[in-house]
Structure 1
Amino acid sequence: MTHPRNLITDVAGLRIGNAHDARLGSGVTVALFDEPAVVSCEVMGGAPGTRETDILQPDKMVPSIHGVVLSGGSAFGLDAASGVQAYLRRQGIGFQVGNARVPLVSQAVIFDLMNGGDKEWGLYPPYRELGFQAAEKAGLDFDLGTAGGGYGATTANLKGGLGSASVKTSSGHTVGALVIVNAIASAVIGSGPHFWAGGLEEGDEFGGLGLPARVDSDMRRLFWKGGPQPATTIALIATDAVLTKAQAKRLAVASHAGLARGLRFSHALFDGDTIFAASTGRRPLGDAAAEFTELTALAADCLTRAIARGVYEATALPYPGAQPAWRDRFGTGRGS
């Protein structure tokens, strides 16, 4: 069962903020937790860009963190977490270490340096300021598509973007996904309009087209971004279930199945595919093994749907020769 909002913020205990720069052709998306959250991650791409991910491993001493950043800008974009830290510190949020207050913010970035935006920013990139702005805007409702960290995202054949989806498990836990779709490959079958995620669609959340009657060999033909352009799909999975750090790690690992289903293909040499998994700790697990197993399965489904929504909701960048959006080519879907 999906929630009316159908966003990751249906999970109690977190807020999302977006900020972008249209001239730059890039942006930042921030997830802030109302209380420090148990978070882990799994990096399965061959070319990741990350910050503060080692502390998320189950054998590390840090029990929880304050926020997660999904950003454009490749290695330059890693400055965004500093802006989020500055915002949190101003709010008095962070772990007290002696006289210092230290907000802990983990981050992953996408490569969007070749999308037509003006990257001549001078001495320092603008991502620290964008991170601060995104944190200031954090709330329960936020834009999808060409927004925040998904502003400059692309795929092999259509404009990428920011996607989200949520679902409730049979035992009443909520799980949601937030993703920046900047894939080296494609979210649609062949040349479209059907999404690889079509069999998991809820209502008409990405056009209501379902799957084609048959996926032939030509539709399965591999193609990807040409030249030396890396690509990355990065995501945050969140749930209100009380999880240990080890369980959060397993949730992040299992959720990578959502990338494999939503894209043709993922986890490649030039990918930086990274997934964070967070527990806001509002509802204990009952039958722990069974409920956690269902949670991992539905989290992957959520991520698959969020990938399609990110592409479906996107609009083309305002530059000559920019990649077309799904809606530019196919309208709004069923009945359009």
Structure 2
Amino acid sequence: MIPGPHNAITDISGLRVGNAQDNALKSGVTVLTADAPFTASVSVMGGAPGTRETDLLAPDKSVAQVDALVLSGGSAYGLDACSGVVAGLRAQGRGFRVGDAIIPLVPGAIIFDLLSGGDKDWTDAPYPALGRAAFEAATDHTDIGTVGAGTGAMTAMMKGGLGTASLRFDTGATVAALVVANPMGSVTTPGDRHFWAAPFEIDGEFGGLGPDPASGLGRSTDSRKLTAMLERANTTIAIVATDATLDKAQCQRVAIAAHDGIGRACVPAHSPGDGDLVFAVSTGAMALTAPADLGLIGHAAALCLTRAIARGVHAATPAPNDLLPTWGQLNADT
């Protein structure tokens, strides 16, 4: 397996990503959509999730495909970003048809960034407009770092961000991840230099510093974020995707497997104060060639998610009134 040409979720043909953010607000929205509806499911392993329409992604529910997925800042307010995407899809005549009615199907998930240092004193919540703008900005290019839903994201010790990564099999099938890294845990070992994800890095994609040579790691619970904010102000939300043909049950299994990627990149992960969630998507462009392929896709999804988390944090950029430094600021001599 090697990364796709852009090392991004948009290496999967037909998928598009759009971002919109308000830098004064220090929050934003990221939308994944496609040229056609796609199969999707979800796995939630955090103790404090915030979601919209995720129940319909269960394998036993009747809806087979959705039109877009939303990752948003704003906590509960951010769920309204889905409404903006619904409006954009409806304007294009896209959605599930029931008689003369069109119903765009847009599940979503949110992170808590209400205490990120931005101006949250709004009169009308900005998230429907941000959702619509992100949908309309969707392209086959994927920005990373302090953009979209990653604008106000923070990890335990530094700014978080929006990340992506991909892997391509010899068969031509592609697996990829898109993530907003805002965990309670740290993404780097003590000293802020080495990423927990380092053993899985490819071609220096997040600094190339390698694993921390120290041992006995994982016992420190230091958190600049906890000092600046609150214990429950967390969550890592992600989308993993493949062009291999999967049904909803198989997508759910891939989403479950992909959570390993969060556990490898964030320490600790899946805490009571995190809302850790992974959507899994299949565009259905390529047939599975063997029963073992599903396991390999789940494994690749976890690898991509691990790398995407580190890439998003590594690419974060400083902004006025930040509560935490970026990885780059902490490692300016690297």
For the superposition of Structure 1 and Structure 2, which TM-score range results when normalised by the shorter chain?
A: over 0.9
Distance 2:231 2:237 in 1: 19
Verify the 8 A CA contact 1:25 1:117 in the aligned structure 2: yes
Residue of structure 2 equivalent to 1:31: 32
1:35-184 paired onto structure 2 within 5 Å: 35-122=36-123, 124-184=124-184
1:9-28 paired onto structure 2 within 5 Å: 9-28=10-29
Distance 2:5 2:14 in 1: 17
Distance 1:98 1:329 in 2: 57
Verify the 8 A CA contact 1:47 1:230 in the aligned structure 2: no
Verify the 8 A CA contact 2:73 2:152 in the aligned structure 1: yes
Residue of structure 2 equivalent to 1:216: 216
- Provide Cα deviations, 1:278-327, integer angstroms capped at 9, x if missing partner: 0000000001x2111111111100000000001000012311x5310000
Distance 2:222 2:272 in 1: 14
Residue of structure 1 equivalent to 2:301: 299
Distance 2:295 2:332 in 1: 38
> 1:228 deviation in Å?
4.1
Pairwise CA RMSD? 1.2
- Counterpart code for 2:135: A
Match among 243, 246, 252 for residue 246 of structure 2? 243
> 1:62 deviation in Å?
0.1
Alignment partner of 2:35: what SS? strand
Residue of structure 2 equivalent to 1:2: 3
Verify the 8 A CA contact 2:47 2:271 in the aligned structure 1: yes
The total of aligned residue pairs comes to 329
Distance 1:330 1:7 in 2: 25
Verify the 8 A CA contact 1:175 1:240 in the aligned structure 2: yes
- Counterpart code for 1:286: T
TM-score in terms of structure 2 length: 0.96
Alignment partner of 2:313: what SS? helix
- Provide Cα deviations, 1:76-102, integer angstroms capped at 9, x if missing partner: 000000000111111111111122111
Residue of structure 1 equivalent to 2:317: 315
> 1:263 deviation in Å?
0.6
| 2:198 aligned with 1:198 | yes
- Counterpart code for 1:294: L
Distance 2:9 2:332 in 1: 26
Q: Which blocks of at least 5 consecutive residues in structure 2 are unaligned?
A: none
Distance 1:260 1:190 in 2: 17
Verify the 8 A CA contact 2:232 2:274 in the aligned structure 1: no
Residue of structure 2 equivalent to 1:275: 278
Q: Which blocks of at least 5 consecutive residues in structure 1 are unaligned?
A: none
- Provide Cα deviations, 1:250-293, integer angstroms capped at 9, x if missing partner: 00011000000011111101100010000000000001x21111
TM-score in terms of structure 1 length: 0.95
Alignment partner of 1:240: what SS? strand
Verify the 8 A CA contact 1:314 1:326 in the aligned structure 2: yes
Alignment partner of 1:105: what SS? coil
> 1:215 deviation in Å?
2.8
Distance 1:69 1:210 in 2: 33
- Provide Cα deviations, 1:164-221, integer angstroms capped at 9, x if missing partner: 000012433100000000011110011221000000101011001110223334x641
> 1:143 deviation in Å?
1.6
Distance 1:228 1:326 in 2: 21
Distance 1:182 1:77 in 2: 15
Residue of structure 1 equivalent to 2:187: 187
Verify the 8 A CA contact 1:164 1:179 in the aligned structure 2: yes
Distance 1:316 1:112 in 2: 16
Alignment partner of 2:107: what SS? strand
- Provide Cα deviations, 1:37-57, integer angstroms capped at 9, x if missing partner: 000000111110000100000
Verify the 8 A CA contact 2:184 2:231 in the aligned structure 1: no
The percent of aligned pairs where both chains have the same amino acid is 50
Q: Which runs of 4+ in 1 moved over 6 A?
A: none
Verify the 8 A CA contact 1:171 1:291 in the aligned structure 2: no
| 2:264 aligned with 1:261 | yes
- Counterpart code for 1:267: H
Verify the 8 A CA contact 1:41 1:276 in the aligned structure 2: yes
